[in-house]
Chain A
């Protein structure tokens, strides 16, 4: 049986308590949320934190709501809660598209949104989702809260803007009336990590011209999980198959996949393009021309 190395354990009673503990124990302390990324790494002894700060009692960190023109998702919200949330699905079907293909029900019951993005695995589905949504992370440390756009959140594999003595509190997604969104993923099997995946958020004017677009890419080597070139190409163009094809080609050209047992580089590059096209097509089909009042 795989067993982790020795570690201390504290159950946090408040967010401030978390920050205090992290401050006191330094970088060898780690937050544990759902534990579905951290505990396997500890069992393989790829991670050997000296202290685990358990945040699972901090109910103030979980929950989904709409407030001040934003969808707010607490860091401790479970995948399963996001998948079951009507308000999340109503505003951003991409969230439900993605949650349906993340892991399996057991993992989704426990794994958290905050843990997912803080893990910053290059194949994490929600990373591409929140970059395409242009979400903003709210991070708390001793100095209080600060916000980080998700497009600046990822600092490379397993590294984020969250500093050692900080905690991610919530993700905020600006509402975009009339926007359509979608997520498509190719995996080798249900519950497997993505070979590649793409998310798209599309806003159209009354003529079907793209006024704003977000494209997120997962597992194809984009450090910031975003296909900026494809977005730039699309913005201001009529949302049609030619435009999508051009955007797909740009996404494929600019991604930097690496070969592994999920697939060779040429295939992943092809998928980046193909899935970008498919996500755009699905998102556009869900968008309302000219927007509509919330």
Chain B
């Protein structure tokens, strides 16, 4: 890593190897599909081949008579238990198993429980469903047409596919600035539907104990406590009788936040059969039916004065929510955090209007490391700034530099009401431009362009950038809740008598390295070795309540909670040390030490050599020491952290591509990423998160896409059709850090899990379009898309290529 990193030193912090990797590199991780309980049965889901059809009947008799089948669950079975529909995160309901209609291809219709997974699959073919096909709504732009088929006729009085209208910002002030702008640029942009596609698909082992009435669910849950509440609500099992255990999770990216029909059917299957039931979806099921991401059709306008100062932004969005409005986001934010679309710039007024619509596609929208739709917001503004630069003949780096918020503006209240905590954007952009050698790359680009014009042969070089601002760490209780659950996180820390500690967390790692980072936080506060801190997560019987890991919220919220809990333990230790040393607590000085097994120590101010270590204190706190009133003994504390604000990490990315104009192929030659996520607890883990997100960005910009044909057929239901980038498409990442601590986080840290996924797609797209000299073309810029853009006939990505 190059660049300046100050402020991330600190006891316990640093690039220590990840504790969890010992088992992962040995192949000893334990994932849901590794779980085998005695007598376990296997479930399989029958899915709709149609995007839209009425169900006339479901006949399961032949499947039920299969010798290995134990139960067949249909919509009717669930309706009898009041479980055919479930609430979504966004004030809607979604079908668990279809009763009236199927509303997207791949929707769940029936669930078979059998002795083995082969028989369960075989029996699916024995279920006879009589469908009456209906015309589908496959094109979001036609969803509100007069006479469009009404998808949600289950809702009383529904006559169209309109879900919501939402707006933010000041329309009048924006209009006034547009009216006096010297220049206005407009652009239509699609952020197409993509999928989080974690390598481990979703799955569950539901185990209902008929004697105790207790339900244990081993499952892929990014938010175990929220899941427990959902099972209680939907299945009617008291919350204290439900235990959610999330074992190792092989990637989440928001795919494992929501509740899926397969999970609930496994629970019902276990209740009906009295045996544990495993259900693990296959790749196609994952890609077809679980939460997709994005699908935003945006129209953006940007207004500038004659000197290139951006005055105002105006946006209207058509948001394709699929057949059920099930976006996983704080309840009061129907468009997620899209409202932060003014990005990193000093923009006086902004307004956006978002219209959500139903289509015959799977539900979702908020997933894939999007920070509740900051991805869409950043893509919009970073693309618009490039369009403005092109339209006004300005260099995109200079235009950005002239409009970036300067450090003296923080804390900054944006035109749409977001309060950015801290930032130094010009420094990040300058660092990135220096690293890439901006002038030289531009000179090289010019040479290539001249050569191309002379010979007709490529490659053409392009440079693209983005300066993004993230908004993560949801969130303040008074503003944000998920289904009525405020977004504060608990944490519990106990130091054992012999010194090591256990930290219990509500959030749940899916690969982010929580076992290491959170142990480092405790190490930072108490001076214990990282290896002496056990991190417990993912088991609702053994962890405090909290909202889980998504939206880059773990370090901002649970990390702060861990720090606060450790601080409380340190203060307890001070009280005990005062008794041990027979001095007043105020006369003690804390020294965090060097991370040895003794931990930090308290010494008597002004009396050299008189001190006790945390390890000694821990034993004493559990021993016979006579403690004064108010000091309970033992070293254990819990806390609930309610974040005062989001954190606003940011970064400047510069991408250099070569494009072969004869074929449309893109080669991402370089990628410089300067990230600022405040204080870095484990810089190596942070960089790992960034590497992954940059690869995501290349994926989305160049190849990832879920498209549908006119009949609503899903065209991306395998990894042959839904392309993820490989190492071959990723250049050696050139990373650097600046450190602007968050003023309100106890450690100065900000979230970083999604920064690169949010910030990188516009840099890649801007680079490709810069290379080919095209004003705009939509992602993914596959060779065909690039070539067609060069022909002046860009491809619309969300519908089938014809």
The residues of A with any CB-CB pair to B shorter than 8 Å are 1-3, 5-6, 44, 104, 186, 188-193, 195, 259-264, 266-267, 270-271, 274-275, 278
Give the CA-CA distance A275 to B660 in the complex, in Å: 12
Assess whether B274 is interfacial by the CB under 8 Å rule: no
B118 near A264 (CB under 8 angstroms)?
no
Tell me whether A3 and B715 are in contact in the complex, defined as CB-CB below 8 angstroms, given that A261-B721, A264-B795, A264-B801 are known contacts: no
Give the CA-CA distance A188 to B787 in the complex, in Å: 12
Give the CA-CA distance A264 to B725 in the complex, in Å: 22
Tell me whether A186 and B801 are in contact in the complex, defined as CB-CB below 8 angstroms, given that A3-B117, A195-B783 are known contacts: no
Assess whether B26 is interfacial by the CB under 8 Å rule: no
**Would you list 12 pairs from A and B whose C-beta atoms are within 8 A, ordered by A residue?**
A6-B118, A6-B122, A186-B663, A189-B728, A189-B729, A190-B726, A190-B729, A193-B720, A195-B784, A259-B802, A261-B716, A274-B663
Main SS at interface, chain A: loop
Give the CA-CA distance A259 to B723 in the complex, in Å: 18
B788 to chain A: which residues have CB within 8 Å? 264, 266-267
- By beta carbon, the residue of chain A nearest B660 is A186
B723 near A192 (CB under 8 angstroms)?
yes
Give the CA-CA distance A76 to B350 in the complex, in Å: 65
Give the CA-CA distance A163 to B283 in the complex, in Å: 34
**What would 9 more interface pairs be, CB under 8 Å, given A188-B782, A267-B788?**
A1-B33, A5-B122, A186-B663, A186-B664, A188-B703, A261-B800, A263-B782, A264-B795, A274-B663
B282 near A1 (CB under 8 angstroms)?
yes
Assess whether B22 is interfacial by the CB under 8 Å rule: no
Chain B, 364-421, CB within 8 A of any chain A CB:
none
A262 near B720 (CB under 8 angstroms)?
no
How many Å from the CB of B270 to the closest CB on chain A? 19
B728 to chain A: which residues have CB within 8 Å? 189-191
- By beta carbon, the residue of chain A nearest B285 is A2
Give the CA-CA distance A193 to B723 in the complex, in Å: 11
A188 to chain B: which residues have CB within 8 Å? 702-703, 723, 782-783
Assess whether B594 is interfacial by the CB under 8 Å rule: no
Assess whether B168 is interfacial by the CB under 8 Å rule: no
Give the CA-CA distance A200 to B153 in the complex, in Å: 58
B784 near A264 (CB under 8 angstroms)?
yes
A262 near B784 (CB under 8 angstroms)?
yes
A2 near B726 (CB under 8 angstroms)?
no
Q: Across chains A and B, which 7 residue pairs bring their CB atoms closest together, nearest first?
A: A263-B784, A190-B728, A2-B282, A267-B784, A189-B723, A188-B782, A186-B663
Assess whether B280 is interfacial by the CB under 8 Å rule: yes
A3 to chain B: which residues have CB within 8 Å? 117-118, 121
- By beta carbon, the residue of chain B nearest A193 is B720
Give the CA-CA distance A193 to B719 in the complex, in Å: 12
Q: Which residue, of A5, A186, A259, A267, has the highest number of chain B Cβ atoms within 10 A? A: A267
Tell me whether A271 and B663 are in contact in the complex, defined as CB-CB below 8 angstroms, given that A5-B122, A261-B716 are known contacts: yes
Chain B, 767-802, CB within 8 A of any chain A CB:
782-784, 787-788, 791, 795, 800-802
How many Å from the CB of A20 to the closest CB on chain B? 29
Give the CA-CA distance A113 to B802 in the complex, in Å: 33
- By beta carbon, the residue of chain A nearest B281 is A1
Give the CA-CA distance A183 to B702 in the complex, in Å: 24
B725 to chain A: which residues have CB within 8 Å? 189
A263 to chain B: which residues have CB within 8 Å? 782-784, 787, 801
Assess whether B316 is interfacial by the CB under 8 Å rule: no
Assess whether B172 is interfacial by the CB under 8 Å rule: no
Chain B, 614-668, CB within 8 A of any chain A CB:
662-665
Instruction: Bin the interface of chain B by size.
Output: 35 or more
Tell me whether A186 and B802 are in contact in the complex, defined as CB-CB below 8 angstroms, given that A2-B282, A261-B721 are known contacts: no
B185 to chain A: which residues have CB within 8 Å? none
A44 to chain B: which residues have CB within 8 Å? 284
B783 near A261 (CB under 8 angstroms)?
no
Assess whether B578 is interfacial by the CB under 8 Å rule: no
A1 to chain B: which residues have CB within 8 Å? 33, 117, 280, 282
Give the CA-CA distance A192 to B282 in the complex, in Å: 21
One of B33, B282, B707 near A261 (C-beta < 8 A): B707
Give the CA-CA distance A195 to B786 in the complex, in Å: 13
Tell me whether A189 and B703 are in contact in the complex, defined as CB-CB below 8 angstroms, given that A262-B784, A263-B801, A267-B788 are known contacts: yes
B122 near A274 (CB under 8 angstroms)?
no
A261 to chain B: which residues have CB within 8 Å? 705, 707, 715-716, 721, 800-801
Tell me whether A2 and B283 are in contact in the complex, defined as CB-CB below 8 angstroms, given that A188-B723, A262-B784, A264-B801 are known contacts: yes
Give the CA-CA distance A140 to B802 in the complex, in Å: 42
- By beta carbon, the residue of chain B nearest A5 is B122
- By beta carbon, the residue of chain B nearest A268 is B784
Give the CA-CA distance A263 to B781 in the complex, in Å: 11
Q: Which residue, of B663, B716, B791, has the highest number of chain A Cβ atoms within 10 A? A: B663
Give the CA-CA distance A270 to B793 in the complex, in Å: 14
B33 to chain A: which residues have CB within 8 Å? 1
How many Å from the CB of A242 to the closest CB on chain B? 14
Tell me whether A191 and B665 are in contact in the complex, defined as CB-CB below 8 angstroms, given that A1-B282, A264-B788, A270-B787 are known contacts: no
A2 to chain B: which residues have CB within 8 Å? 282-284
Give the CA-CA distance A191 to B707 in the complex, in Å: 21
Q: Which residue, of B118, B665, B782, has the highest number of chain A Cβ atoms within 10 A? A: B782
B726 to chain A: which residues have CB within 8 Å? 104, 189-191
How many Å from the CB of B201 to the closest CB on chain A? 9
B283 to chain A: which residues have CB within 8 Å? 2
A193 to chain B: which residues have CB within 8 Å? 720
B791 to chain A: which residues have CB within 8 Å? 266
How many Å from the CB of B663 to the closest CB on chain A? 5
Q: Which residue, of B702, B716, B802, has the highest number of chain A Cβ atoms within 10 A? A: B802
How many Å from the CB of A27 to the closest CB on chain B? 21
Give the CA-CA distance A65 to B703 in the complex, in Å: 40
Give the CA-CA distance A186 to B788 in the complex, in Å: 15
Give the CA-CA distance A99 to B432 in the complex, in Å: 38
B787 near A267 (CB under 8 angstroms)?
yes
- By beta carbon, the residue of chain A nearest B724 is A189
Give the CA-CA distance A294 to B282 in the complex, in Å: 53
Q: Which residue, of A44, A189, A264, has the highest number of chain B Cβ atoms within 10 A? A: A189
B721 to chain A: which residues have CB within 8 Å? 261
Q: Which residue, of A6, A190, A261, has the highest number of chain B Cβ atoms within 10 A? A: A261
How many Å from the CB of A197 to the closest CB on chain B? 11
Q: Mark B19-51, 1 if CB is under 8 A from A, else 0.
A: 000000000000001000000000000000000
How many Å from the CB of B526 to the closest CB on chain A? 44
How many Å from the CB of B272 to the closest CB on chain A? 22
Give the CA-CA distance A179 to B728 in the complex, in Å: 31
- By beta carbon, the residue of chain A nearest B124 is A45
- By beta carbon, the residue of chain A nearest B725 is A189
- By beta carbon, the residue of chain B nearest A186 is B663
- By beta carbon, the residue of chain B nearest A4 is B118
Give the CA-CA distance A267 to B408 in the complex, in Å: 51
Give the CA-CA distance A75 to B795 in the complex, in Å: 41
Chain B, 279-303, CB within 8 A of any chain A CB:
280, 282-284
Give the CA-CA distance A261 to B800 in the complex, in Å: 7
